[in-house]
Structure formats: C-alpha cells, structure tokens
Structure 1
Amino acid sequence: MAKAFLDDNFLLQSKTAEKLFHDFARDLPIIDYHNHLNPEHIATNKSYANITEIWLKEDHYKWRAMRANGIDEKYITGKATAKDKFQQWAETVPYTMRNPLYHWTHLELQRYFNISDLLNPTSAIQIYEETNQQLQKADFNSQGLLDKMKVEVICTTDDPTDRLEFHETHRSGTSKLKMLPTFRPDKLITIDNPDFLSQLAKLEAVVGTEIKSFTDLVSALEKRIDFFDAKGCQLADHGMAQLFAISPSEKKLDGILGKKRDGKTLTQEEAALFQMTCLHELAQIYNRKNWTMQFHLGALRNNSDRLMRLVGADAGTDSIGDFEQATGLAAFLNRLDKIDSLPKTILYNLNPKDNEVFATMAGNFNDGSMAAKIQWGSAWWFLDQKDGMEKQINTLSNMGLLSRFIGMLTDSRSLLSFPRHEYFRRILCNLLGQDIENGELPNDINWIGQLVEDICYNNAKSYFGF
C-alpha cells in the first residue's frame, strides 16, 4: 500500500528514523546563518498583499521551472497580475515532480497555511484566495512567519556600504528574533566585475575618504568591518568562481587599481592577484574579529545575456561551473594557517564533483583550538535537494566528523523557505535511522539523538556563539 504524500513520516523510512526525527529534531529552533532575506522586511514587520508577492517575486528557483515549462516571461518577472502569475506557477507545479520544488511547495503550504491540497490548475484559485486571506492576519507578517518556524537567528547578506539601519531598528525593538548582518564585499574584491568602480565610489562616500591605493582600499574595508562588527556582525561571505594559487603581493596593486580607474582592460593574472591579495588581508582582519569566513565557490553566473538585459542579475540564469578548486583553495588557507591568522571558515562547493575535495580540504587546517574550526558547509544551491543532501552527509561522514557539522541553512530570499530545515532534518534522521536498523550503528537512541540535536541546532549555536 502506498504511503500518503507528505504525512507526518514523510522521508522517514524506518521506525528508528521516525523516533529520531519526532523525539529529537522536529521541535528544535532554527539558526539560519546564511540567507538573502530583506532586512527592511524583517525590521518593519512587513505584511504581504498576496501569496505571489511573498512566494514568487524573488524566487529564481521557481522562475527557472516556469521557463522550463514554457511559461511566458510576463508571468514570471513581467507585468502580469499577481493572480495570473500564481495561476501560471500552479500550472507548472505538477510538472515539477521529483524536483525539490514539488516537495518544498507543498511543505510550505502545509507548514505556514495548513493547506494539504495539491497545488495544480484546478486548486489554484482556491489556494490563492485562502493564502491571501491568511496573509492579512497579524501573525502572518514577516516576524510572525519566522516565529511559526521557530527561527531564532537569521544572518542576512549585506553590502559593505550598507548603513545597516534596519538591523539597528530591529535590535532596538521587542522581537526575540536575532537578526545579524553578514559582510559581503565581493564587488570590491573581484576587480574585473562591471560594478567595481561604482561600488568603489559608494565605499569612498560612506567612509568619507578618496581611495587612491590598495592600502586605502583595505583601510576603508577595515573601517566598514569595524562598523559591521559594532552592529553584531559575526560572519563574512564570499561568492566567487574559484580561488587562485597566487602569492599575495601589494607591489603591483596600485598600478592595477589605476589601470581599472582609467578604463583599461585587466589581464586575468592581474585580476587574480588583486582578488587573492585582498582576500588575504581581509581574512586576517576577520580572524582578529573572531568572525567566520564563508566561501561559496563554483557558480557560473548570469549566462543569458537576454535575461540579464531584461531582468538583471540573479534572474535564474546561473549554473554549476567547472572550475579547478583544490590548488587555489589549499594555497590560500595554508598561507593564513602558517601565520596563525586563519579564521573559522565554512567552505561550500556548487559542483558535486568537488564534494570529496571540499570535505578533505576542511580537514587539512583544523588546529585543535575548537571542534571543526574549518567546516565543509551544507549542500548548496543546486545541491540542496534530497540527493545532494544525502551525498553531502555521507561524504562528510566518510571523510570528516558529521557529528561536528553545523547543519542546514536556507540561502534564500523567501520568508517561506524555512521548511528546508525540516527537509534536511528528516533526511538526516532517515540516514541515521537506516544505519541503526541495518546494524551499522548501535541502537543507542539517546546518544545518536544527541548527535541529531547537535547537527540541527547545538553545533551552530556553539560554533558562532549565538
């Protein structure tokens, strides 16, 4: 007899898995230490006019699926009505079976709105109206939705020039939710990106000094790090294609910066030298601040010029890149380790071929100062689905200490994405439960239950000191 779809024991394939999830994982709070939520929406406790605004407006996962299903762009990022856009998403959902979107869509309808009906063209209007009615209730504003998922901490992703006024507003309010900024200076490090000069001008304006040299740039960034630190920031994040095995050197960097200002084309070697020297300097500052440094590596971004012109960046036109990762990453971490300046670090790979590379790389630079100082991060972006999570958990188990893993995050722009933590927890409990049932792990429910609690919550709380 077929199991019911998305019942209480969804993804749990043994009695032991059920016990691990329901007794140890299900009710834990959430620490979401990397996402792209809008701080203004949280601080102002934003209410949402309709389900399209909160669910579809910024979700490029859904946009990709709709395009693949032949939906016209006007119903995705264009000027169609909110109702028509939702209807087109409902037309697409039945075709997403075996894509994680099918699971996430229905988990989100259940967990936030208590709607168990399948979303399809027939149910679309009823679900649209029912969710919109619920969104008008006081506890369906931004903070209420986070509270429903027991979210305790969120770390947003913020530009170095951001004034962080909404973080300050939130911190001075009455919400129990902790919202912290994350320092994301990529556009000032990757000097060959098209936004570098405009970003440099913004940085000059916010620090109040002209940046004439590389030393000036690092000094300005350090001032912003001090500012972020005073606002509670504890993490930096870098999203780059790859790191390079280049020794940092400031000798040529003033010339490279001047060349960029003059509108001249930089060589790949010049851009790589600038990037790696800047990262080397920033990492030492992070270490002094006791921040955690994150690297999201391996994305090939903005592949469609057509959609870049029409929609802009982050339009759902990125893919997994085939970059060499090991040599540059090892050289970068080793240089910092040799001078005792390597901060706590989380490494994320986008290409699954690099799973073993990143898992073993993280193990190279632990120094005994704390458990799992260098982490291999959770399955990221295209990999944050059932197969990707299972592979990440199994690879980390084989090559590191799963028990010290700091667990899942959303990496999302959507307030309705937090059931992904539940998704991860169910997958984790199912794997551990199956090992117990197979006799591959002892039937010590209390100890393994403690490991589940640690991975899902306690390890992150201890690692970051939240």
Structure 2
Amino acid sequence: MNSDFLLDTEESKYLFKNFAEQLPIIDYHNHLSAKEILQDYRYENITELWLKSDPYKHRAMRMCGVEEHYITGDASDFEKFKKWCSVFPKLIGNPLYHWSKMELTQVFNLDIPINSENADILWKDLNKKLKTPEYTSKSILSRFNIEYCAPCMTINSDISQFEKNKIHSPSLRGDDMNNITAEFIRELEDNTGVQISSLDSLKKAIHKRCEVFHLAGCRFADHALDYNFYYKCDDGNNNKRLQKIIQGEELNVEDMAYLNSELLRIAGNEYALQGWVMQLHIGAMRYTSTRLRNAVGAAGGFAGIGRVDTRHIAQLLDDIEHGENGIPRTILFTLNPASNAEIAILEGSYSRDGVSALIQQGPAWWWCDHYQGIYGMLDSISSFGLLYEFIGMTTDSRSILSFVRHEYFRRVLCVWIGRKVKSGEFDADLNFLGEMIERICYLNAASAAGMEA
C-alpha cells in the first residue's frame, strides 16, 4: 500500500497530504476495554491483539466456512492465527482487506502479504515485536496521535479510573436504561444514594450519575434504537409502570415501550442540561441466528441491518424539544443506507437560533463504514445537510488497531472532494476545502468534546 492509496486525483492527493493526514484523532464513540487503554497492557500474542476482540474478523472467518473452534473456540492462538491468514486472500473487496493491511503496515511496519504461506513468519515477527515496550497498549495508541478517546460505559459502571486522564474519557452508553429491571434500579440507588420510588427520583439519580460522568470528561452519550423500536408519547401512566418494575414485575411489550420512551425523554433532557452530544444508533437487527448468539454472545458479528420508521425518531426528538432543557446536539447514525436521505433531512427539521447542525447524520456505521458506505454517506450529508459541520469519523470498535480507519475515512473524504473539484462541481479553492477537511476530520469533533482546538 503506497502513500497514494485510494487517492485518484491530484486534488485528492494534495488535500490529504496537506490537510488531512497529520490531524489528531477525536474518537468519540468506541467499545474499547478501559483496562487496555488506561493501563500499559502487554498482549500475550498477535491473536489476542488482532483477532480476539474483533467481531468483523470473526464474521469474515465464519463466512469462509471456518469452524467456530478456530474463531472463538478452544483452538490454540497459533491455530486461530493460521486460519485467519488462510482465509485472508478471499476477503479481497471487503473492507477488512484494506484495514488489516493498514494495521500491519502502520502499526508494525510490516508489508508482507497475509496468507497461509506467510503465517509462520508473521506469527514470529509480530509476536517478537509485541514483547518489546514499543508495543504495549499505550505505545500502540501513541502511534495514532489520539487527542480524545471515549470508550462507552454504562451508567452504573465504575469510572474512577478515568479521573485526571487528559486523553481518555468515558462516554455514557444508555442502553441499560432501556428495558430496565429491579436489579438496575437497586444498583443505581447504591451508586447515587437516591431511593427510587417514582420518575422524579429516577431523574434525580440519573442526574447524579451524569454529573459524575461529566466530571470524568464525558461529553457524549448513545442509545441504540434497533429495528423494532417504536416510540410512545406520554400517556400519564409511566409512574405506575415504573412501580411494577421496582416491585420485580415484568411489563408487557407495549408497556415497556411506553416506559422506554419516557426514559429516552428523561435522558435527552439530561444530556441537554449537561451540554453533551446525544448519539442515536438506528436500525440494527441484533437477533438473527439464535444458535450463534447462544454460542458466542450478542456481539459476535452476526447482527443484520433493519429499519426504523422515521416518524418514531421525529416524534421522539419533538417531545425532547418540548422538555425543560430542549434537544441536545444529536447525531443520528443509520445502519441502513436506504434510510440515509430520510435521516439526513432531519438536520433541518429542528434548527435553533445560533446553533449550527443541532441535529446531523452521523458517519457510516458498523457494516457500512467501508468505501461505498462512506462515499454514499458523504453524498447524503452534502445533499440534505451541512457537510461543513459534519462531525466526522469514529471507530465504534472493540480493537485498538482500528484507529487506522480514521485514515481510511480521511482518504475516502479527500477522494470524494477531489473528484468534485476535478469535475467542476466544487470551486478549486483548495485552501477553503482544506479548512473544511480539517473541520470534518478534527475541529468539529474537538468542539463537541469541549476541547480548545
């Protein structure tokens, strides 16, 4: 992979090398292990670092027919690595083909084809590097020029390890506030000292935990609105529903939808009070193969793409807007490319005086953060919203090697803009376009994170 990888016009090469390439990284949503990023963790071998926590690679191996024994099973780490190398050439055209090669070249300075023939030498050379101080977790992260990294943590998580850390801050993952249980309530009571007996006391407890998160540097929160999400306006009965939960009763599907909608309204108004950015991840179809889910867990790499009726998203935002604190800055991530237009158009539906891009479409997400997905998302945002205010890339990943995807995104962005210049669609004002690239790749996200950029 040479320095002009993907860059197919002189304009794209100029923009990437003069504006995008050296920018710091703001990664505002990921699933990295706090232990790995906050301690100087030393990996046992390349399988632990490269394969163990990456469901993208697990999914690819399954599609190639590799037995689960060699993916998440009891095979040795060397056997798992050899299986990965054996199927890698088949992934040509898949984003993993690019990402994995970038991970090898950028992190390990190795430009060796990944295949069965080279498995032994790769295993030996990579593990030799991992034994040195230059390849502990902190050393690997330092290679990426990261200024802000926000692994998501649930509201009851212990986040004390983030205190006084200037780079790594928690983001709040709000999904455990969906389908709440009596156990969740008790844990929240223990963490806040608030006895929860009503929606008002639940709001107080959530506020106290958000204050703790804010002091630890949290500026982002996210909620998953999966393909079966449907929103319910307040019918005045949610205190009664909460009482049933506290008493250990189970709600039926409709009652839980009412209560979940109430909690989203509470959360949205709390985030607005804190000055945070709310992220809504829309359209994942998490229940596909029961067999695989039972075998390897919910995050095994076999979720599908669904769709959410945009009317439910619009009504949720409308009700939050009428709350005490209004709508927080909100990023709408759609997993389904067919929903790009209907999500992107909402950027202009809740505008507020003096605020740019209060609502915006997020970057291509999960199964869509490949070349075509990023390119299509840029078309969508520029056609229906404000590309200049776009918050840019985040990895949403479980692997620290995935920060190479920021460069991948930046290259695709420069390709997209370079082609617009070459075709005459954009004025050839490369300094202005470079300024926009700096905003998309760094400054807009830095501002959202509350950083002095």
TM category (shorter chain) comes to: over 0.9
Could you give the per-residue CA deviations for residues 67-125 of structure 1, whole angstroms, max 9, x where no partner exists? 11111111111121111111111112111111101111101101100111110111111
CA deviation profile, 1:134-179 (whole Å, cap 9, x unmatched): 11221211121111111111011001111212212xx25xxxx611
**Partner of residue 246, structure 1:** 232
Determine helix, strand or coil for the equivalent of 1:180: coil
Which residue matches 1:7? 2
Contact 1:188–1:200 (8 Å) recurs in 2:
no
Structure 2: state its 5+ residue gaps.
none
The 1-side partners of 2:395 and 2:281 are apart by 14
- Structure 2 distance, partners of 1:204, 1:15, is 59
What is the alpha-carbon root mean square deviation over aligned residues? 1.7
Work out whether 1:274 is the aligned partner of 2:259: yes
Structure 1 residue 269, shift from structure 2 partner: 2.1
- Does the 8 Å contact 1:186/1:240 carry over to 2? no
382-391 vs 338-347, greater mean Cα deviation: 338-347
Instruction: Measure, in 2, the Cα distance between the counterparts of 1:283 and 1:186.
Output: 13
1:44-443 equivalences under 5 Å are 44-168=39-163, 171=164, 178-191=167-180, 196-241=181-226, 244-249=230-235, 251-260=236-245, 265-324=250-309, 326-339=310-323, 341-443=326-428
Matched residue count: 449
**Which SS does the other structure have where 1:46 is aligned?**
coil
Q: Tell me if the contact between 2:24 and 2:442 (Cα under 8 Å) persists in the aligned partners.
A: yes
- For residue 307 of structure 1, report the CA deviation from its aligned partner: 2.1
Alpha-carbon distance, 1:210 to partner: 4.4
Q: What amino acid is the match of 1:82?
A: D
User: What's the CA shift for 1:423?
Assistant: 0.5
- Contact residue 278 and residue 329 of structure 2 kept, 8 A: yes
Please list every run of 5 or more consecutive structure 1 residues that lacks an aligned counterpart in the other structure.
1-5
CA distance in 2, matches of 1:218, 1:439: 53
Moved more, 90-99 or 303-312: 303-312
Identity rate, percent: 37
**CA-CA distance at 1:248 after TM superposition:** 2.5
1:29 aligns with 2:24: yes
Tell me how far apart the structure 2 counterparts of residues 288 and 255 of structure 1 sit (CA, whole Å): 26
Give the Cα separation in 1 of the matches to 2:356 and 2:151. 25
Deviations 1:371-420 (A, max 9, x none): 21222110000110000000000111111111111110100010100110
Which amino acid counterpart does residue 280 of structure 2 have in structure 1?
F
Match among 28, 33, 39 for residue 34 of structure 2:
39
Distance in 2, Cα, partners of 1:200 & 1:118: 52
Residues in 2 aligned to 1:86 and 1:189: alpha-carbon distance in whole angstroms = 38
Distance 1:74 1:210 in 2: 47
1:37-96 deviations in whole A, cap 9, x for unaligned? Answer: 111211112111111111111111111111111111111111211111111111121111
Between the aligned partners of 1:263 and 1:228, the Cα distance in structure 2 is: 28
CA shift digits 1:417-440 (9 cap, x unpaired): 011001110001011111111111
CA contact (8 A) 1:207 1:220 kept: yes
Matched, 1:449 2:434: yes
- Taking the aligned partners of 1:461 and 1:230, their CA distance within structure 2 comes to 17
- TM-fit CA distance, 1:282: 1.7
Query: Structure 1 residues 311 and 451, CA, compared in 2 at 3 Å: closer, same or farther?
Result: same
Looking at structure 1, the residues matched to 355 and 131 of structure 2 have their Cα atoms a distance apart, in angstroms, of: 46
User: Which residue identity is paired with 2:234?
Assistant: P
Distance 2:302 2:204 in 1: 35
Cα gap change, 1:199 to 1:58, in 2 (>3 Å): farther
Contact 2:23-2:442 within 8 A present in 1 as well:
yes
